Amino acid sequence: MFELRLVGIGMGNPDHLTGSAKQALQTSDVIFIPQKGSEKSDLVASRRYICERVLERQPRFATFDLPRRDPCQPDYLKRVDIWHDEIANLWFETLNKKLPGGGTAAFMIWGDPSLYDSSLRIAERLKPLVDGLKVKVTPGLTAIQLLTAAHSIPLNDIGAPFMISTGRQLREQGWPEGCDTLVVMLDGDCSFNQLDGENYHIWWGAFLGMPNEIVISGQLHECADVIKNTRQKARKQHGWIMDTYLLKRQK
């Protein structure tokens, strides 16, 4: 019998973990830590540091290298679909290797497992391979919550909706119709640059809730270049960056 726990850890600050998250990690037989290459080794170290800080006893870790998406596959959705199949097979192999008699394995998920994270979809692919697999989710702080907290702003206007999207969607489809407030995630290309900056206000943040947090806000046409340059320098310094931003269309 296997139980797979997907535990939200916020942006990597030990203080971001809820009591439920700490309990889920503390009582797991093994914590799986995927590796994404040497340039992102800090992400592995951050997960280990969190456990050192918040858990009463140090857990058993199992690391493995994640496969990379095939750049030769032109169809984005198909490329991701193939990639998720490869990861599910890797999870299956790792479960059988590290827990041959069954048990509880946990993944530490940045932000929350339900928001722009594929762990739940991959876990669904694992179910046909593992009889009786139980999947349990422990929610965590999202980048959106930490962004609005860092800027001390509400997410929505009174009685108004908001939309969450991606940089790719903004680049390919432009500003969504009927939307005044847009949260953009997973944008490594600063897609806000294609908008008429005089018509939008932006709140941007990177490494949110961490000691090296960076936040910038203002009229988009005044902030766009500052954000791009700041982002580039931070990514070069750390080897990776986690950032997101909120845009509001001026009425």
Tens of pLDDT, residue by residue over 159-210, are 999 999 999 999 999 999 999 999 999 999 999 999 999 999 999 999 999 9
Q: Is the predicted pLDDT of residue 251 greater than 80, yes or no? A: no
The CATH homologous superfamily of the domain defined by 2-138 = Tetrapyrrole methylase, N-terminal domain (3.40.1010.10)
Contact indicator for 111, 8 with CB cutoff of 8 Å: yes
Q: Which pair of structure tokens corresponds to residue 76?
A: 């984005």
Please tell me the distance from the alpha carbon of residue 10 to that of residue 245, in angstroms, as a whole number: 16
* In the chain, domain spans: 2-138, 143-249
Q: Cα Rg for the chain, rounded, in angstroms?
A: 19
Type of residue found at 96: N
Q: Is the predicted pLDDT of residue 245 greater than 90, yes or no? A: yes
Cross-strand partners of 146: none
Q: Is the predicted pLDDT of residue 37 greater than 70, yes or no? A: no
Express each pLDDT in 52-97 by its tens digit: 999 988 889 998 888 888 888 899 889 999 999 999 999 999 999 9
Query: Any residues with CB less than 8 A from the CB of 62 and at least 6 apart, and which?
Result: 30, 31, 32, 33, 94, 98, 105
Taking residues 205-234, what's their average pLDDT? Answer: 97
Residue 40 confidence class, pLDDT cut points 50, 70, 90: low
Please tell me the distance from the alpha carbon of residue 204 to that of residue 225, in angstroms, as a whole number: 12
**Architecture of the CATH domain 143-249:** 2-Layer Sandwich (3.30)
CATH topology match: 2-138 vs 143-249: no
Q: Which pair of structure tokens corresponds to residue 174?
A: 């432009």
CA angle (95 as vertex; 107, 27 as ends), nearest 5: 50
Pairing mode, strands 200-206 and 243-249: antiparallel
Q: Is the predicted pLDDT of residue 39 greater than 60, yes or no? A: no
Q: Is the predicted pLDDT of residue 105 greater than 60, yes or no? A: yes
